[in-house]
């Protein structure tokens, strides 16, 4: 982009100019490669943990955690290098009249486009591989749209966090070094999959994985599903002998002969319900609001960082 074009244009036209630049980069500089990578990651996760998602409590918790990780990974890779790789250009053009808000707005629109495509690809791969997805809607008339909106908000929130890191980092190497640390924080502080000390639980509110996982579990009617881990653990002990007999084996045979297994699994699930995952539109909306809030915070911080780019001696 020529400097004299930037100097005399308003914010709206600058946004359009940069948006055109980003889409040309998408076509001609291989930025489209994030899309097949999203398909590969979704396929690997679907193959690994997709069998029991939205069928059992344990499978749902593991599956929604994995899907949240897909979204976080996609969002991070979309924008972790986009600003730091052209930092010198942004600094020069800002001195020539570039509005930082226009530059960031163009990134927001372009990254939203990428995130939507990645969500469509992820859902398509899951359907292709016969992975169960929620079939009851809570917010919109279509359950798949509710599901897709949650995936989009997780991905976009992670994307804007990576954009913030890209605005802060000195080089692309620094940005890529920071990214694994952020990813680990997102995974560890998801709030459900790992047992954290009670004093660390407030930190889970800072992560997109916590709100994404909660929304996905609520949409999949987590509390109406059976729990199988207790049964499977006990089943491993069926051949344990007590005074020459196998009492657990006798009990299991009695349960199965009377077709009580499914009832027992459902009862176990009822005793282990988590009301944070109730099938309730208020829960999903709260999660969406938190994801949107953090997205806005990351965008504001990105703009503030870049507004002082002229003072940057890097």
Q: Could you please report the per-residue DSSP string of 231-293?
A: HHHHHTTTT--BTTB-HHHHHHHHHHHTT-HHHHHHHHHHHT--GGG-S-HHHHHHHHHHHHH
**pLDDT tens digits in sequence order for the chain, 314 residues long:** 444 444 546 888 888 888 898 888 888 877 788 899 999 999 998 888 878 899 999 889 999 999 999 999 999 999 998 998 888 888 888 888 888 999 999 999 999 999 999 999 999 999 999 988 898 899 999 999 999 999 999 999 999 999 999 998 878 888 889 888 998 888 888 877 777 778 878 888 889 999 999 999 999 999 999 988 877 777 777 777 776 777 777 777 877 777 887 888 888 888 888 889 999 999 999 999 999 999 999 999 999 999 887 666 65
> Which has the closest alpha carbon to 145: 154, 136, 158?
136
Which residue intervals of the chain are DSSP H helices? 3-7, 11-28, 34-49, 57-79, 87-95, 100-128, 143-168, 172-188, 208-219, 229-235, 247-257, 261-271, 281-307
| pLDDT at residue 5, rounded to an integer | 45
- What pLDDT score does 3 carry? 45
Gap between the Cα atoms of 75 and 154, Å rounded: 8
**Residue-level pLDDT at 92:** 85
Cα-based distances in Å from 202 to 62, 190, 274:
21, 11, 17
Q: pTM of the predicted model, to two decimals?
A: 0.89
Position 192 scores a pLDDT of 73
User: Could you tell me the two tokens for 99?
Assistant: 């509005």
How confident is the model at residue 123, as a pLDDT?
Answer: 94
| pLDDT value for 2 | 45
The first and second tokens of residue 33, run together, are 């490669």
Can you give the pLDDT at residue 287? 96
At residue 313, the pLDDT reads: 63
Return the pLDDT at 302. 94
């Amino acid at each position: 982009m020529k400097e004299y074009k930037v100097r005399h244009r308003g914010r709206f036209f600058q946004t359009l100019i940069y948006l055109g630049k980003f889409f040309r980069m998408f076509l001609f500089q291989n930025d489209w490669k994030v899309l097949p990578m999203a398909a590969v990651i979704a396929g690997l996760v679907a193959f690994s943990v997709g069998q029991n998602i939205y069928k059992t409590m344990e499978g749902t918790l593991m599956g929604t955690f994995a899907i949240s990780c897909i979204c976080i990974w996609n969002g991070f890779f979309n924008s972790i290098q986009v600003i730091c790789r052209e930092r010198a250009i942004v600094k020069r053009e800002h001195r020539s009249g570039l509005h930082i808000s226009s530059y960031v707005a163009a990134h927001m629109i372009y990254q939203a486009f990428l995130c939507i495509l990645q969500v469509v690809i992820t859902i398509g791969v899951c359907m292709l591989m016969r992975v169960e997805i929620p079939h009851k809607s809570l917010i919109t008339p279509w359950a798949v749209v509710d599901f897709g909106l949650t995936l989009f908000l997780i991905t976009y929130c992670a994307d804007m966090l990576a954009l913030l890191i890209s605005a802060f980092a000195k080089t692309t190497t620094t940005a890529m070094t920071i990214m694994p640390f952020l990813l680990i924080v997102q995974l560890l502080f998801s709030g459900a999959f790992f047992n954290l000390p009670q004093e660390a639980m407030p930190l889970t509110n800072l992560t997109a994985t916590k709100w994404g996982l909660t929304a996905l579990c609520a949409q999949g009617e987590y509390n109406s599903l059976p729990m199988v881990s207790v049964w499977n653990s006990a089943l491993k002990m069926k051949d344990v002998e007590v005074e020459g007999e196998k009492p657990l084996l006798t009990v299991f045979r009695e349960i199965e002969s009377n077709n009580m297994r499914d009832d027992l699994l459902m009862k176990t699930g009822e005793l282990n319900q988590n009301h944070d995952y109730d099938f309730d539109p208020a829960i999903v909306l709260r999660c969406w609001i938190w994801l949107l809030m953090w997205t806005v915070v990351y965008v504001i911080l990105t703009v503030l960082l870049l507004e002082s780019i002229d003072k940057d001696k890097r």
